Structure 1
Amino acid sequence: MKAVHFGAGNIGRGFIGYLLSKSGYEVTFVDISDFLVNAINEYKKYTVITLSTSENKEKIEGVKAVHLHEMAGLEAVVKEADLITTSIGANNLKSTGGLLKTLLEKRFETNKKELDIIACENALMATDILKDGILEGASDELKANLDKYVGFPNSAVDRIVPNVDIEKELPIDVAVEDFYEWDIEKNKVKVNGNVNGAEYVDNLGPYLERKLFLLNGAHATTAYLGDLKGYKYIHEAIQDEAIKNVIVGFHAEAVKALSEKHKIDIEALTAYSKKLIGRFENTYLKDEVFRVGRDPIRKLSGNDRLITPLRLCYELNIERENILTGIAAGLLFDYAEDEKSQEVQSNIKANGIKKAVADITSLDIDSPLVDAIVSKYEEVKTSFTK
């Protein structure tokens, strides 16, 4: 079985590529980085270092790479692929879909073998976004071939892969936490139903929202509050009593909302919550606050990890003060090296906090949620300080 994975970064190598290789796939990475492509093709292997109470090292061998702009190479690997996956960032899915449209047209000229395409991103129903990019402007013939031969399962992915500074044998070795989860929509899979370490589920929605709210939302909140109080690492921030109280409260609000919406056992969600906080406390990861908090424009957008649980709590009339605290802290994230955080600060300065909140979150400016965010912003600005 042959897999093509778009995105040779830490998640690509340390999570998706890792599981696919261990499942017996011949893995080809696609990336825009000359360094990554050249290094993968030079070494043809790398080590995944699992960071827990002790280090565990696993060799991943037989990998190769193609540059994103090398069309002949891309056509060759996509033509033979049984599985195409991505970890490129949700913002890049539409453009990658346009590229895949061209590559799949070439494939179907000579190869009608079934395959699956799965986007592995921190976004709700990311594969659907990628599929929309492929379908945009597609011919009727391509649409028919996609319907017949291609599975488009959505998935939920969960593994923390920090930019930790550890000794590496090769420059493309990657460090990861010891926990991972990859949930895939079972009923949309064509041929890739046996990836070791993946769980195939009938209803993905609860898994996506559980992960987006309890991991991504609380993780970002830890980073934003940690930055306000001057911490460098997530494990330092979560040890701060004031921050930990917010995260525990955030989880309690989100757990209640998820339980009501999806009819999930609240004890099971609470157990998952406690496990997540333990992951945040992992000192071996040395996961930087900046890495987790960067790009607040995306993380504060209307369909992402903070505004989505806020809206759900509002709709269900559930307490949401701690989620509001996370959003307010995100609006205060002012990191000179992060272009997106500077865009947030410029928007606030130019338009005022209320208009900026509406712009960034896509909430109606007259929504009571906007007023609640503005109020919490003023409170957090003075209550969480270094």
Structure 2
Amino acid sequence: MSNQAKNIIIWGAGKIGRGFIADLFFKAGYNLTFVDSNWELIKQLNSQKQYTIVNLPSLEEKEEVIIKDFQAFHISEKDQIFQKINERSILSLVVFPSAFEQIAKDIALIIEKRSMNKINRPLDILMSTNTFQPSEQFKKYLFKELSKAGREYFYQYIGLVDTLIIRMGIEPTPEMKEKDALTVLTNGYPELTLDRKSFKGEPPQFKSFVYTTNMSHEEKRKMYTYNTIHAVYAYLGEQKEYQYIIESIQDQAIQQMAVEALNESSRALQKEFGYSDEEMKEWNNRVLKNMANPMLKDKINRVGADPIRKLKKEDRLIGPALMCIRNGIMPYFLAKAVAAAFLFVSEEDQASRTIQEYLKNHSIKEAIREFCQLDREVELIQLISDHYQKLSETKNVNEDLSRIKVKKQLYEIGFEYEKEYRGCAQCLIAAFFKYVGKSNPSLFQSASGFSGGMAITGDGPCGGYSGGTMIMGSYVGRRLEKLDIDGDKETQYKAYEMAQKLHDKFIETYGSVICADIHKQIFGKSFCLKSKEVRKEFEEAGAHLDKCTTVVAMAASWVADILRDEGYL
């Protein structure tokens, strides 16, 4: 590798820039140049001329690295920065996405100058930031600033390379800071995953770099595991007024729920992207190990900060929850974490205050639609809302895990049957037959005409509602042999009471029990399925991908709750 390739600019000298990117490249023999907007930090770096990285992968492992022989520039020192970038083939952007727009202006000027000066060699920019597809986000800002010639130069010589940042930078202990004020404490995660196909120059080849050609899958796996469980710890821990993530990890109830949320997300990733059981087990073991180091006292307020960003549709909580729903998995614990995020309050964090102000004048469902960017995903909205109401009333994060297991199993069977066999009422009934291990063929057959709002007309009740009512009636229902004795009124009214509970869940979630009305909620329009043409349109709209399948799944979970409350499951 040429001398030119042994230099790197690290734009962003925070914990990850100094504690991860610098660590990897310094160990590989690169000369480091830092750029940052913090004058005091730049002065301190230039004054000290070295700093310490403390890597703590576990209680038993500790590594101290002294980083030295670097240069550091403030972003206002543009001539020096431009000269340094001209001498280098790799630049790492280690900044928050909120800084992309401003930094894109500086990078655009650099690209324009390189183009005018005919510096016809590659410059690869590593997007070392913790968000989805940062290269696409940054490119949009960059192209607003570039001329036609600059864009042509970009396509030929500039690589925007997405990376996965898994190493965590933690606030060092007072003792560490006393010894070296610039100390960076990390979890010591050893690898950086990079998008191989985005490089314009020769990719660096050293031990800590892992290359992938399917970066979008890897980004989601990282975001929906590492970032997800971190957020769960933060938001549930804040409900117990903990200060540090490690307190949440050491709380048995929170740890159980965090692992359950991780499992929900992991199963969805497997179904979506084809990861094997063994791959995900090994990956998740690394996730849990990286989180569980008691020496890494990461603050809950830091991890939970900026909930507006973290509640977005593709981010660490809503993203995996929607992936679960697409794949027939009930995102129960993910939804609980989302609810807790809406209750997260930090005086230091403007985003959390913005959410709380919004909630003063809006319902939780309105807030979910606003901040999570949800609309037709009414089942997820309802799940989050249910959790929010419970947490608001009690702040008790504990759950009856055996109860949740039953409702989740029936959710999945209901989804699977509706997807495979169609016929919502019968599929819900069959789901219960499978769960309890015995069937009633006459009951199943009697529900034949109940699908699609009765006889596929759409103007009758949803089959999930009617099938659920039939299943409950098979446990508690008016008996023929008692009709001419006392009318079996007590049992009859018990069946009414249970059916009303199911009715109320449909009203809360869909605003109706009528098939056509539910269609309007989940599709935006209703379907009368009597013609082949409409049935084709219905299927193309996702009816048996994640629409009606999810209605049946939710109905099955509600019936499970009602029957369990009555002692039948």
**Does TM, scored on the shorter chain, surpass 0.5?**
yes
Unaligned runs of 5+ in 1: none
SS in 2 for 1:152: strand
1:121–1:138: structure 2 CA closer, same or farther, 3 Å change rule? same
1:19 alignment partner in structure 2: 24
Q: AA paired with 1:49? A: V
Shift of 1:23: 1.8
Shift of 1:287: 1.4
Q: After the TM superposition, which residues 186-335 of structure 1 pair with which residues of structure 2 at under 5 Å, given as runs? A: 186-189=196-199, 190-335=201-346
The equivalent position to 1:77 in structure 2, one of 81, 84, 87, is: 84
Q: AA paired with 2:108? A: K
Matched, 1:183 2:193: yes
Matched, 1:35 2:40: yes
Q: Deviations over 1:160-192 (max 9, x none)?
A: 111132423321121111324311011221223
Contact 1:117–1:127 (Cα < 8 Å) also in 2? no
Q: Deviations over 1:182-224 (max 9, x none)?
A: 1101122122332541111121122211110110011011011
Contact 2:196–2:203 (Cα < 8 Å) also in 1? no
CA distance in 2, matches of 1:68, 1:339: 26
CA distance in 2, matches of 1:365, 1:88: 34
Shift of 1:321: 0.2
Q: AA paired with 1:182? A: L
CA distance in 1, matches of 2:379, 2:357: 24
Q: AA paired with 2:249? A: I
Q: Deviations over 1:252-300 (max 9, x none)?
A: 1111110011111122212221322222221011111112111111111
Q: AA paired with 1:279? A: N
CA distance in 2, matches of 1:383, 1:123: 33
CA distance in 2, matches of 1:180, 1:291: 23
2:381 alignment partner in structure 1: 370
CA distance in 2, matches of 1:335, 1:365: 31
1:121 alignment partner in structure 2: 129
Q: After the TM superposition, which residues 120-139 of structure 1 pair with which residues of structure 2 at under 5 Å, given as runs? A: 120-139=128-147
Matched, 1:89 2:100: no
2:566 alignment partner in structure 1: none
The equivalent position to 1:172 in structure 2, one of 169, 182, 185, is: 182
1:338 alignment partner in structure 2: 349
1:55 alignment partner in structure 2: 62
Shift of 1:11: 0.8
- What is the TM-score normalised by the length of structure 2? 0.65
CA distance in 2, matches of 1:383, 1:88: 38
Contact 1:214–1:273 (Cα < 8 Å) also in 2? yes
1:377–1:172: structure 2 CA closer, same or farther, 3 Å change rule? same
- How many residues matched? 386
Q: AA paired with 1:244? A: Q
The equivalent position to 2:153 in structure 1, one of 132, 145, 152, is: 145
1:366–1:192: structure 2 CA closer, same or farther, 3 Å change rule? closer
Greater helix fraction, Structure 1 or Structure 2: 2
- What is the TM-score normalised by the length of structure 1? 0.95
CA distance in 2, matches of 1:307, 1:14: 30
SS in 2 for 1:29: strand
Q: Which entry has the higher C-alpha Rg, 1 or 2?
A: 2
The equivalent position to 2:120 in structure 1, one of 112, 135, 158, is: 112
SS in 2 for 1:318: coil
Q: AA paired with 2:364? A: I
Shift of 1:137: 4.0
CA distance in 1, matches of 2:12, 2:341: 27
Q: AA paired with 1:134? A: L
Shift of 1:356: 1.6
Q: Deviations over 1:93-152 (max 9, x none)?
A: 233222211121112222222120121111111122122221224222111111111222
Shift of 1:310: 1.1
1:194–1:120: structure 2 CA closer, same or farther, 3 Å change rule? same
Shift of 1:360: 1.0
Root-mean-square deviation (Å): 1.8
Unaligned runs of 5+ in 2: 1-5, 398-569
Indicate the larger mover: 321-330 or 367-376.
367-376
CA distance in 1, matches of 2:105, 2:235: 34
Indicate the larger mover: 70-79 or 13-22.
70-79
Contact 1:294–1:340 (Cα < 8 Å) also in 2? yes
Contact 1:19–1:197 (Cα < 8 Å) also in 2? yes
Shift of 1:77: 2.2
CA distance in 2, matches of 1:55, 1:264: 32
Please identify runs of 4+ aligned residues in structure 1 that moved more than 4 A: none
Q: AA paired with 2:195? A: E
Asked which structure has the greater RCO (Cα within 8 Å, sep 6+), the reply is 1
